Amino acid sequence: MKHLNRIMPILFILPMITLAGCVNDKSENEPRPNVRPMVDAIQQADEDWIWISGQRWHLTSIEGNPAIADTSLDLNFKEHTWLEGNAGCNRYTASYIHKAEAGLQIKEILSTRMFCAQPAGIMQQESRYFQLLKQVDTYHAQPDELSMFIDGDKVLTFGTGLEEDSP
């Protein structure tokens, strides 16, 4: 009888262990989400960033309107953390964070403090340009165009400027 008292708990626990093992085996055989497309997209974005950061981008439109004639606004991404450019009147530099596929955050914009009277509206355009740059959250790039967005709305469009350099 004592022998049976020792075996009973083992006979009760053994099926429980077996069932627990089956549950674990079943969950291991369930399909896992395929993260490869996401990894591929991030790797492609990093490769794209190399040519994006190798260009000097010239502003072609601001909030859908062309830049003021006879002004030159541009930006050039440097290294992996800062950019520089001309805002029409003043030179500027800023730090930035390139995020995952198409995320971009530009912050800490520093500029010279010159005043330009001509062409008319240049200082207002420069001020608005800086405001928008600080709010940009995503971008989309093609070989000859870089667009920047705030909450899905295109606010800044840049070109490579190659058409200006052509004879």
Q: Quick one: pLDDT at residue 5? A: 60
Q: Quick one: pLDDT at residue 147? A: 95
Interior angle at CA 78, CA 52 and CA 96, nearest 5: 85
- Enclosing H/E stretch for 75: strand 73-78
Q: How much of the chain, in percent, has pLDDT values that exceed 90?
A: 46
Q: Quick one: pLDDT at residue 88? A: 93
Please say if the pLDDT value at position 158 is more than 70: yes
Q: Quick one: pLDDT at residue 165? A: 38
Of the candidate ranges 1-10, 17-26, 42-51, 71-80, the one whose mean pLDDT is the lowest = 17-26
Which comes out higher in pLDDT, residue 134 or 164? 134
Please say if the pLDDT value at position 81 is more than 80: yes
Q: Quick one: pLDDT at residue 51? A: 76
Which comes out higher in pLDDT, residue 143 or 33? 143
- 5, 10, 12, 17: CA torsion to nearest 10: 170
Report d(CA 156, CA 66) in Å as an integer.
10
- 91 and 116 Cβ atoms separated by less than 8 Å: no
Average pLDDT over the chain reads 80
> What is the identity of the amino acid at 7?
I
Residue 154: which pLDDT band, with cuts at 50, 70 and 90?
Answer: very high
Please say if the pLDDT value at position 133 is more than 60: yes
Residue 159: which pLDDT band, with cuts at 50, 70 and 90?
Answer: very high
